Amino acid sequence: MHVPPQNVQIKRIYDPPEPTDGRRILVDRLWPRGVSKSRAAIDEWAKEVSPSPELRKWFKDHPERFETFRKRYIEELLMIPEKSKEIARLRRLAAEEKLTLLYAKKNPDCNHALVLAEVIRGTVDMESPSAEGPLSLL
């Protein structure tokens, strides 16, 4: 299935909604601080595709770990059935309509939504996890 790259964008939940956002999907495990449900204007909350609590805690406030985080997160998305099932659903949606993946992290260049967008677009190897094998958090 082809997902047009322009059909998947990312945006901070704190940025105002725009008509060009399409379907607004919150992809964080935790509800963002200081954002009411009406202000968030989300269409759905896809907690299933957020990084595991362990991975999220390991990566928090350590941008130098991003490349390793990226590999581990992709592995989670591919290997955990409920995550891979949700990825398939989001890919089907993105093939037909624009999705805006919403996240709370401050750094726009170093967050899980960037990786998730790559996976939904299909611009990463979806057949196998990292060549190095399973990665531990230690």
Give the ranges where the chain is alpha helix by DSSP (H). Answer: 37-40, 53-59, 66-79, 81-96, 112-121
Q: What angle do CA 110, 31, 40 make, to 5 degrees?
A: 90
What would the pLDDT profile of 76-128 be if each residue is shown by its tens digit? 999 999 999 999 999 999 999 999 999 999 888 899 999 999 999 998 864 54
Place of tokens 């196998």: 128
Does residue 64 have a pLDDT over 70? yes
What would the pLDDT profile of 7-54 be if each residue is shown by its tens digit? 999 999 999 999 999 999 999 999 999 999 999 999 999 999 999 999
Give the pLDDT score at 61.
83
Give the pLDDT score at 123.
85
Give the pLDDT score at 125.
63
Residue of 14, 15, 44 whose CA lies nearest to 27? 44
Indicate whether this model's pTM tops 0.85. yes
Supply the DSSP symbol for 99. E
The domain limits of the chain are 5-121
